[in-house]
Amino acid sequence: MSIPVITIDGPSASGKGTVAERVAKVLGFHFLDSGALYRLTALSAVKQGAALDDEVRVAELAADLPATFRDGAIWLADEDVSDAIRSEAIGEGASKVAALPAVRAALLARQRAYRQAPGLVADGRDMGTVIFPDAVTKIFLTASAEARAERRYKQLIGKGNSASLTALVADMQARDARDTARLVAPLKPAPDALFLDTTSMDVESAVQAVLDHHASCKAKAS
């Protein structure tokens, strides 16, 4: 419990993953992309032909997920699925399986095991409220649905995929509603989290804001 943790929570495409990974690199901390675990669970369910609302079966897949993070890639068994889990369909599936209590329970210990010296930066939706409630630094990163949809649109177009900005905005709003309304670990800021709106911020500014807040939190804790 003495190992410091920085949690960065927020809605889809808020930039939390990019910011968290860069903060971890600056500090020399480990990095946990908790969303990837839910995306991997959804992808595994699709590959196994399991219905995404079959809580028992999906929880079994989550518990035995053959997932590894190595060489800058995400692997499911012996397959590099780094791009596959970032598709809109799998992102939608991840949001659905994340609402299942048994799935969240199956991944709880796995996420906490990432807490290793010298420290951890964890991004997700319930890192500061459920997984690491004792984190020294908590951030809630957000942006308008329109800004987040535009970021996702540029990512998809940049990879040669077709996309509709209007549809992406609607998807963001629907996903936000589902994530905040779920009964287990709903998306919400921890009471002691810094609320950081990145709608008009670039990545470097957001990273610096997190680092500054972490320095402040460390000073208060010492």
Check if the beta carbon of residue 48 is closer than 8 Å to that of residue 145: no
Q: Residue 35's domain is classified under what CATH number?
A: 3.40.50.300
User: What are the beta bridge partners of residue 7?
Assistant: 122, 138
Alpha-carbon distance 32 to 54, whole Å? Answer: 26
Residues 6+ positions from 48 with CB-CB distance below 8 Å: 57, 61
Instruction: Report the pLDDT value the prediction gives residue 181, as an integer from 0 to 100.
Output: 85
9: how many CB neighbours lie within 10 A of its CB?
28
Query: pTM (2 decimals)?
Result: 0.84
Q: How many domains does the chain have?
A: 1
Instruction: Report the pLDDT value the prediction gives residue 183, as an integer from 0 to 100.
Output: 77
Average pLDDT over residues 37-57: 96
Q: Which structural domain, as residue segments, surrounds residue 37?
A: 5-217
222 occurs within a structural domain: no
Element (H, E) at 222: none
Instruction: Report the pLDDT value the prediction gives residue 221, as an integer from 0 to 100.
Output: 86
Q: What is the pLDDT of residues 102-152, one digit of tens each?
A: 999 999 988 999 999 999 999 999 999 999 999 999 999 999 999 999 988
Instruction: Report the pLDDT value the prediction gives residue 20, as an integer from 0 to 100.
Output: 94
